[in-house]
Structure formats: C-alpha cells, structure tokens
Chain A
Amino acid sequence: MQLEALNNEYMCSGHVACPGCGAAVAMRFLLKALGEKTVMIIPACCWSIIAGPYPQSTLKVPVLHTAFETGGAVASGVRAALDILGDTETTVVTWAGDGGTFDIGFQALSGAVERNENFLYVCYDNEAYMNTGIQRSSSTPYGAWTTTTPGQQWKRLRKKNIVEALVAHRIPYAATASIAFPEDLIAKARKAREMKGARFLHIYSTCPTGWRIPSEMSIKIARMAVQTNIFPLYEVEDGLRYTINYSPKGYLVDEYFRLQGRFKHLTDEDLRQIQEMVDEDWALLCRKAGNSPRA
C-alpha cells in the first residue's frame, strides 16, 4: 500500500454522520483510492445528509445529489456527457445505500449494467433504510429487528445476494469490501478505477444507530462479519472468475450477533440455524471460487 494515497483527503471535517458511522469511513477510504478526478452521484440515503446542506459540502469532488431510484441512470447520463465533452479520464461513481441499490434503484442499476455503462457503482451496505429510521430492506439479514420488522416479526427472510445478482449480468467487475479492511478496500477501488465498463463495489458498512451498537464497536463488528464468513471478501471478474481475498478463521457467528441490539431477541436455536445458513453460503462461495477457470 502506497502511503501517499492514504495521506490524500477528499473529505473535509464537519460532515454530519452519527459517531462511528461506517458509511463515513467507507467514503473517506474510497475517495483516497479514487483521487480527485471523480464525479460522485448520490441518490437519497444517509449520505444525502452526511454530505452537508447547501451551501456546504463535505466532499472535495463534484457531487450530484439525485432521486432515490436513479443511481444507475444518472451515472449513465453523466458518463455520456463527459465522454462527449472529451473527458474520458474522470471516474463516474454512484454512491448509494442498500435500499437505493438492492430495492428501489435495482431497475436502473440492472439497466446500466446490462448496457455495460462505464462507471463504478458503490453500495455502502448498512443493511436497512437508515435515513428514514431503520426500516427493513432486502439487504436486511435474517434475524434482524428493524422498525418495520419489530417484535415477534423480526426478519425471517434471507438477505438478497446483490453481488450474485450482478454477477448474473456478467458484470466486468464485482467485489465486496469492508471498512475493517481498508487496504483491501483501497486496492479494489483502485483496480475498479483502472477498469472500463460497469463495476460494482459492495462495502459492508456498520451503522451504530440502526444496529444498536456502541459507536466505538463499529470497526470491530465489521471485522467480525468478515471473520465469521457472514460477509466474505471476494471479487468476481466477468461474472466468472471468483477470487476469495481473505481466508477467515471461521469464528462462530454467535458472538457477532450477541454484540448487536438488533439481534437481541434471537434464541440459541435461531443462532444455530443462522450458523447453518452462513456455513451453507460460504461453502457455495468456495465451490464457485474453486471451480473458477483461473490458474
């Protein structure tokens, strides 16, 4: 890791994220990797607020705030315009939450990826609609409490696998990353920056407010998600070549769940079932990586 990259800052102090917000950390690292020749498109999400109200801006790159469901389409238009103006160097980046990516924005994202638009789509995934007050999204994991899956009706459906959905589009590059693994995150963002066509980066991004965790636990919990195989770090090229970037020790999921208020209703039996699901998903991923024609 070149140090000068880490010294560059494209995010000013004074942003208005909650203390310990993983999404703020994720943006800071991403921009360090991408550098100043970047245009950032932000559909409605926590970052619509974090970026700062008129006339201030937290980011030192151009930002276009836009409607919730338009990330893929607006980026297509910005790219087309920059190309027409002769600027083929600038990286066009959509920065959206899980709701804006997995749910309402999925059509525009799928459309843009099918057209292989030359842009980078980054989803910072805090596993719910946080900006509107912690409602479930299709990224909310099995077992989680949210304000729309409260009480006995905690979410009994699996998290949508967005990377696999995009891989099914044969997207040139799709990768996961985590705020707890900055070198990996920066390396992937740089790799994505150097590529052409549609690229997707899925960043696991803790939310102390929505996950009911202390702010100072943010990074630790993000790291545990990777170490327990709940959120494996991997990348897929051309929808075919899988690479697992980190081989976890395979800790049990139990501790991860116990640390978060959003899972506090889960019984030992629930956790046993979740462990099975996680093992199953991990085995599937390993099969895909093992079956890859790489080597």
Chain B
Amino acid sequence: MPSQRHESRGGKCVKQVIEGSHAVSEAVRLARVQVISAYPITPQTHIVERLSEYCAAGSLAARFLRVESEHSALAALIGAASSGVRTFTATSSQGLALMHELLHWAAGARLPIVMAEVNRALAPGWNIWTDQTDSLAQRDTGWLQLYCEDGQEALDTTIQAFCLAEKVNLPVMVILDAFFLSHTYEPVDIPEQEAVDRFLPPFRAKFRLDPTAPRAFNQLAPPNIYMEMRYNMQEAMSAALESFHALQQDFAAVFGRGHGALETVACEDADIIIVTAGTMTSTSRQVVAHLRARGEKVGLLKLKLFRPFPVEQIRQALKRAAKVAVIDRNFSFGASGIFAQEVRAALCNLDNRPRVLGFVAGLGGRDVTTDVIEDIYWRTKKMKGSDQENLWVGLHEVDHAIGSLE
C-alpha cells in the first residue's frame, strides 16, 4: 500500500488524491520546466493535458509546443535543450517507437531531457494496455530508465530525474504502467515549491547555442573521436549509478523519503526470490507476505533503475537464493523476457549462482493477479532441470490452437 510505503518526515506538503499521470505533471510543474513539447497518445495524454493547462493559466512559466508528431516533439526538445533550458515530454508505445532515432540523438548529444513514458503494448493488434516492451526495446539508446511502482514514486522520480539528467548530461525516461499507474488515483504527497527548489536548482548548461560564443554541436565525428564519445557516455552512465545513490540521500534530507535503485523485501533468508518491475511489484508484495505467513522462504526484489543496470547490487541481493523467478511483462522475440536476460547476465560470473527462471506474464495488459504470482512461486519451487527456464504464464488454449493450424 503506497500510504504505508512512503513517509514524509521533512518539510510541509499537501497530501492529495491524484492520478498517477498527474503526479508526473505536478513534478514537472515543481521542477520549473521551461520548454515542453508533446503529441497525444493514450495513455500519456493526461500528463501533458494537465501541463498545457498550467502553461495556459500561467502557473508554469514554460513554452508548450503543440507539435505534429512524437518525432517532432523530441526533435523540438533537442533544439530547446541544446539552447540551455530544462525540457520535458511524455509519450507511450507507438510514439516512443517513432522517436527511436531521436532517442539516440538526445543521448549522443548529452542532453538532459526528461521524458515520462507510459508503458503500453505495441500494435498490431491495437492494444492500449500496459506492456514494457516499448521502453525496454529502447534500452540501448543511452537513456536512463527508471520504472515506477506508484503515484508517489512517479512524482518523486520525476523530480529526481531532472537532477540526475543534469548531473550526468544524459536523458532520463521515467516509466509508468499504463492505467494501473497512469490512471489510478492514490494519495500523493505534493511537496512545496520551496522544498523542490532547494533540491533542484535552476538548470545551467555547460554549453549552449549562443551567438556570443558560437560553437558547432553534433557535427561529423570521424573514427578517431567517435569511440571516445561513446566511452564518455558509458562513463556518464557509471557516474549516474553513483549519483543515483547520493541523490536518494539528498532527496531524503529534504523530503524524508527515498527510493533505491532496487528494493528488497524479505530477501535475507529467502530460498526463492521473485523479481519484478512496475506495478506488479505491489501485487507481489502481498503474495510474499501471504506466503511468508505460511512459512515459505520467499523474497521480492523490485527493479527500479534499469539503465544504468545496478549489477553489483543485484548480485548482493540475489546471491544467497537458490532460485530466482523473474516476471517479465515484455518479450524479446527469439530470446526471452528482457529483465530475465539482464538478471541472468548479472549473475552468470558468480561462483555459486542461483538458477534464474523467466516467466512471461501480463503482456498487452493482461492482469497479473496474486493467483498468477503465487502460481509462479509454486512452479519455481517444483522446477528441476534446465529445460524449463523460460515460461509463458496463463496462455489461453485458443492461442495454441491457432499456432497449430497448418
């Protein structure tokens, strides 16, 4: 339950029951963003509609660009951020896919753009419900990726995202599950402007388009320099991992709460650890409590920071377990769920590593209930041998029938 998960000991704040989407809008307003551009796509719309209202009413002194596509939305921010202002956009699914080329541009240009990305399944068939494949398919673009579990975390993470982006000069994606998070009303602490200002100073770009100090940006980079540019990006990613931890302390000092790169629940003595990201985590919390009450040695690892991937922390969290069950609401065709791949890769060089089982569940917004997660636990406990390391959970019979038609 979010109200129990998040405490606010510091500063004054107003607790309001708001939508997950609006938690992001509030954070963007409090971050005093200067240029926003966006193109509508369900279920991202509520985030930017609220922001356009703020801009129209003057409660946010930002320029709001109502562009003609997601592609142009990000392109416009690349222009704005290159000119030295704080920028924000939001998108989802097809919109993110359309941005793909420019995701590389934004990261390669080292621009601290922040984007809210509402996880939605890709077409065909048309599906507006939650699925992480859209954001995970962009994992190699050089954007930081932060997955959120609830409204409070979405607000806090968005504020932190600007800090992080501006610190390491890389763009950041704040990721929310469609509907389960974006359209769910929850009590959220909305901090005071003064507290946010203390945490997040105005953006000062090191370099910007400036006629009094002309420079060229993003020009031809021959082989003798390109690789170093990429190495520097990787260095920035490593720095982001460090900064993220430090940031949580600074955030806690002002707001009295924080969120780790990952979170462990009852992992210390667990034989089996369930790994999740996003709203599925809240459901898993209940399952773990229920199973623990029955004497099962089960734990939960929530992944929040996906890029950079906190390998060392993951090893520490998982190394004592016998088995790890990763639940992926996403899929890499021809391989497996993406979080399962990454967790396996993180563990593979440990001497006594746990077995990692991958479960694909909830694609296209199918509900991942407590029953589904409990079933995953029991199956993991029973499983022997290595032939069943990747499993699809809850496939309907009809799917098999279609698959076998010759």
CA distance A79 to B214 in the complex (A): 16
CB neighbours of A60 from chain B (8 A):
214
Which of chain B's residues has its CB closest to A53's CB?
B220
Point out the residues of chain B lying under 8 angstroms from A51, CB to CB: 216, 219-220
Judged by a CB distance under 8 angstroms, whether A6 is at the interface is: no
Q: B222 to A54, Cβ gap below 8 A? A: yes
- Collect the chain B residues with CB atoms within 8 Å of residue A49's CB: 220
CA distance A61 to B225 in the complex (A): 23
Complex interface: stretch among B66-74, B241-249, B395-403: B66-74
B187-214 CB mask vs A (1 if < 8 Å, else 0) is 0000000000000000000000111011
Q: Does A260 contact B (CB under 8 A)?
A: no
Across the interface, B78 reaches (CB within 8 A) one of A52, A74, A84, namely: A74
CA gap between A62 and B208 in the complex, in Å: 9
Given contacts A66-B105, A74-B79, contact A111 B209 (CB under 8 A): no
Please, which residues of chain B bring their CB within 8 A of the CB of A79? 79
Residues in A neighbouring B105, C-beta threshold 8 A: 66-67
Give the distance in Å from the alpha carbon of A114 to the alpha carbon of B69 in the complex.
13
| A79 and chain B: residue at smallest CB distance | B79
Closest to A75 in B: B79
A108-B71 in contact (CB<8A): yes
A84 engages B62 (CB within 8 Å): yes
B217 at the interface (CB under 8 A from A): yes
Q: How near does chain B come to A292, taking the closest CB pair, in angstroms? A: 30
Chain A residues numbered 16-72 whose CB sits less than 8 Å from any CB in chain B: 36-39, 41, 48-49, 51-54, 57, 59-67, 69-70, 72
Pick from B35, B210, B216, B218: contact of A52, CB below 8 A.
B216
Interface of A is mostly: mixed
Given known pairs A54-B220, A70-B75, the reply for A85 and B83 (CB within 8 Å) is yes
A70-B216 contact in complex given A81-B80, A85-B83, C-beta closer than 8 Å: no
Check if A70 sits within 8 Å of B69, measured CB to CB: no
B391 close to chain A: CB less than 8 A: no
Minimum Cβ distance to chain A for residue B4 (Å): 41
In the complex, the answer to whether A64 meets B218 with C-beta atoms within 8 Å is yes
Interface size on B, residues (CB 8 A): 43
- Distance from B158 Cβ to chain A, minimum over Cβ atoms (Å): 20
Cα A66 to Cα B213 with chains together (Å): 19
Q: Which residues of A contact B78 (CB under 8 A)?
A: 66, 70, 74, 77
Q: How far is A79 from B34 in the complex, measured between Cα atoms in Å? A: 12
Contact: A81 with B101, CB < 8 Å? no
Q: Which of B41-83 contact A (CB under 8 A)?
A: 61-63, 65-69, 71-73, 75-83
**Are B72 and A78 interface neighbours, CB within 8 A?**
no
Judged by a CB distance under 8 angstroms, whether B123 is at the interface is: no
Residue B136, interface by CB 8 Å: no
Interface residues of B in 227-262 (CB under 8 A from A): none
Whether B219 and A52, one on each chain, are in contact in the complex, defined by CB atoms closer than 8 angstroms, is yes
- Nearest to B35 among chain A residues (CB) is A80
Q: Is the beta-carbon distance between B102 and A70 smaller than 8 angstroms? A: yes
Q: Are A74 and B209 in contact (CB under 8 A)?
A: no
Q: Are B225 and A64 in contact (CB under 8 A)?
A: no
Interface contact A65-B67, CB-CB below 8 Å? no
Inter-chain CA distance A99–B83, complex, in Å, is 26
Q: If the complex has contacts A66-B105, A76-B65, A111-B68, are A82 and B219 also in contact, measured as CB distance less than 8 A?
A: no
Task: Say yes or no: B219 contacts A54, CB within 8 Å.
Answer: yes
Q: Which of B72, B73, B76 contacts A107 (CB 8 A)?
A: B72
| Chain A contacts for B83, CB-based, 8 A | 39, 77-78, 81-82, 85
The verdict on A209 contacting chain B, using a C-beta distance below 8 Å, is no
13 pairs from A and B in contact (CB 8 Å cutoff) = A52-B219, A61-B211, A62-B213, A62-B217, A64-B209, A70-B72, A75-B79, A76-B72, A78-B83, A78-B209, A80-B80, A84-B35, A84-B61
Residues on B lying within 8 angstroms of A by beta carbon are 34-35, 37, 61-63, 65-69, 71-73, 75-85, 87, 101-102, 105, 209-211, 213-222, 225
With A49-B220, A54-B225, A80-B85 given, name 16 new contacts (CB 8 A).
A36-B214, A41-B79, A62-B215, A62-B216, A66-B78, A73-B79, A74-B79, A80-B37, A81-B79, A81-B82, A84-B61, A84-B62, A107-B72, A108-B69, A108-B72, A110-B68
**Residues of A near any B CB (own CB < 8 A):** 36-39, 41, 48-49, 51-54, 57, 59-67, 69-70, 72-85, 90, 107-108, 110-111, 114-115
Task: Please name the 4 residue pairs, one residue from A and one from B, whose CB atoms are nearest each other, closest first.
Answer: A77-B79, A111-B68, A81-B83, A77-B76
